[in-house]
């Protein structure tokens, strides 16, 4: 699946490429610079987890642009969580008794992450959401 949507600034957001159910991760990238883009994305993720998010990933200051940004980021991340949760649930059906507990805990954590993403994606002030 590939999704391209305008970014808050009006520039096209990077395509979200996900594998079809049952296909291996990651999905085939159709760009020549996939490995470099992945390295940069992982570096940005590591910096963000260390408390230093890159400027490019910070939400826009304008309220309406920020709402759209949060919706886009939250939904893109949710697709990845769905893929991960599906894989864990499939693994759970074939798991040994010893592995059931850890897989169930992982599935619950992914479900909680999914819930938080939708809180993030849908959060905006009442005045902002009332605008058309």
- The proportion of the chain whose per-residue pLDDT surpasses 70, expressed as a percent, equals 69
Residues 70 and 131 in one domain: yes
Question: Is the residue at 64 inside a domain?
Answer: yes
54 and 102 belong to one structural domain: no
**Does the pLDDT at position 9 exceed 50?**
no
Q: Which domain holds residue 79?
A: 60-132
Name the average pLDDT for the chain. Answer: 76
Confidence check: pLDDT of 124 > 60: yes
What share of the chain in percent tops pLDDT 90?
18
- Residues 125, 63 contacting (CB under 8 angstroms): yes
Regarding whether 97 and 109 lie in a shared domain, the answer is yes
Domain count for the chain, please give it: 2
What pLDDT is recorded for position 25? 59
Task: Decide which of 12, 41, 58 is a domain's last residue.
Answer: 58
**115 and 103 Cβ atoms separated by less than 8 Å:** no
Task: Based on the fold, state whether residues 74 and 85 are members of the same structural domain.
Answer: yes
67 pLDDT more than 70: yes
Mean pLDDT value of segment 108-112:
92
What is the chain's percent helix, strand, coil content, to nearest 5? 60, 5, 35
Do residue 95 and residue 107 come from a single domain? Answer: yes
């Amino acid at each position: 699946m590939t999704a391209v949507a305008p970014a808050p600034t009006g520039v096209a957001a990077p395509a979200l490429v996900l594998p079809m159910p049952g296909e291996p991760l990651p999905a085939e990238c159709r760009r020549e610079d996939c490995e470099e883009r992945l390295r940069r994305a992982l570096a940005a993720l590591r910096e963000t987890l260390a408390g230093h998010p890159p400027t490019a990933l910070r939400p826009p200051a304008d309220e309406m642009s920020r709402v759209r940004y949060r919706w886009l980021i939250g939904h893109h991340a949710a697709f990845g969580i769905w893929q991960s949760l599906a894989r864990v649930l499939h693994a759970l059906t074939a798991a040994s008794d010893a592995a059931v507990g850890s897989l169930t805990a992982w599935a619950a954590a992914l479900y909680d992450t999914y819930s938080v993403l939708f809180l993030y994606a849908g959060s905006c002030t009442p005045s902002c959401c009332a605008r058309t």
